[in-house]
Amino acid sequence: MADLERDPWQNRVALLATQHHKEQVITPLLAKGLGIQVRVVAVDTDQFGTFSRERPRPGNVLETLRLKIEAGLQGRTELLGLASEGSFGPHPQIPGIPWNQEWVMLIDGEQNLELWGWAASVQTNFSHRWVNTVAEALDFAQQVGFPDHALIALDDPTHPQWIQKGIQDQATLVQVVQAHPNQGIHLETDMRAMVNPSRMQVIATATQDLIQKAQSLCPACSTPGYAQIRPLSGLRCRECGSPTAVTKAWVYGCLRCPHTETMPVPEAETDPVNCAFCNP
């Protein structure tokens, strides 16, 4: 185990498994925030799932991140591994709004630690449309931030026979549409990080969350990753004083020792709209 009397991260080298240029946002943030030097390793991360559905994800997000990091560290002497994973879908609470979630994981074989940062945002262009004409294609492209954000074209979103990724200029888009005049094509946003600046911003936010956790040391044993582990509901209603389902405090815990502590949220009360008595 690392000597936790010293800075556990300064001047260490982390290997980042990516082929989609995520180092553009991750590298400078980790260098500034933790003093970690990031090096990219050549790993075919598409083997762990693609947004364009050629390959399914082999497990849940955290399991997939571990597989990416394991592949990046295989056969190397470094003990610090990094990987990122994202997901897109409908917002869990707001109908009709797309939602982007991003995770950035750091595994440290020296300290036997696994840390991950998380971020979510509705600032995503995640979308798709069936188009039959060039005009329809250009209209969709304009709505999703083309050409800064790339597009994918395919013949069938469920069982595609052909797929073209990384479309980033109007001439190519027009050519693809005109090549299929009778059946139309399915257009969707290309969510790979290197051709989707909106996603890159969310990856940066998830990296910042990882940095905060890595900087947070357990008060009892100084292990990094001291963070929120569960919420406690019961924040009182401002109108009637009854406890509500709104979080009143967070329990913080250590990844290594049993130390925990409860920290109240800054708010003393919540709006009556959240109260089962005032707003049944």
Residue 181 pLDDT: 83
Residue 2 pLDDT: 43
Q: What is the mean pLDDT of residues 93-101?
A: 94
Q: How many residues does the chain have?
A: 280
Domain 128-190 belongs in CATH node 3.30.1490? yes
* Collapsed DSSP state (helix, strand, coil) of residue 121: strand
CA distance 20 to 43: 10
Residue 1 pLDDT: 40
Domain 13-124 belongs in CATH node 3.90.950.10? yes
Q: What is the mean pLDDT of residues 145-158?
A: 96
Structure tokens at 187: 């257009």
Closest CA to 261 of 232, 233, 235: 232
The DSSP-derived string for 10-44 is TT-EEEEE-SS-THHHHHHHHHHHH-PEEEEE---
Measured distance between the N- and C-terminal CA atoms of the chain, rounded to whole angstroms: 53
CA distance 119 to 207: 8
pLDDT one-digit tens code per residue, 227-263 = 999 999 999 999 999 999 999 999 999 999 999 999 9
Structure tokens at 205: 């936010």
Q: What is the mean pLDDT of residues 28-47?
A: 96
- Whether residue 88 is predicted with pLDDT greater than 50 in this model: the reply is yes
- Whether residue 4 is predicted with pLDDT greater than 70 in this model: the reply is no
Residue 54 pLDDT: 84
CA distance 204 to 118: 10
Residue 10 pLDDT: 95
Burial class (CB within 10 angstroms; exposed 0-12, middle 13-18, buried 19+) of 122:
exposed
Q: Which helix (H) or strand (E) holds 110?
A: none
Residue 194 and residue 21 in contact, taking contact as beta carbons nearer than 8 Å = yes
pLDDT one-digit tens code per residue, 107-122 = 999 999 999 999 999 9
Closest CA to 174 of 151, 197, 192: 151
Residue 195 and residue 150 in contact, taking contact as beta carbons nearer than 8 Å = yes
Q: Report CA 279 to chain centroid distance, whole Å.
A: 35
pLDDT one-digit tens code per residue, 211-228 = 999 999 999 999 999 999
Give the count of beta carbons closer than 10 Å to the beta carbon of residue 108. 20
Share of the chain above pLDDT 90, in %: 90
| The model's pTM | 0.91
Residue 5 pLDDT: 59
Q: What is the mean pLDDT of residues 274-279?
A: 94
* Collapsed DSSP state (helix, strand, coil) of residue 276: coil
Q: Which helix (H) or strand (E) holds 87?
A: strand 80-90
Q: Are strands 128-131 and 185-189 parallel, antiparallel or unpaired?
A: antiparallel
Residue 265 pLDDT: 97
Q: Report CA 125 to chain centroid distance, whole Å.
A: 15
Q: Where exactly are the structural domains of the chain?
A: 13-124, 128-190, 228-274
pLDDT one-digit tens code per residue, 44-61 = 999 999 988 888 899 999
Burial class (CB within 10 angstroms; exposed 0-12, middle 13-18, buried 19+) of 160:
middle
Residue 148 pLDDT: 98
Burial class (CB within 10 angstroms; exposed 0-12, middle 13-18, buried 19+) of 232:
middle
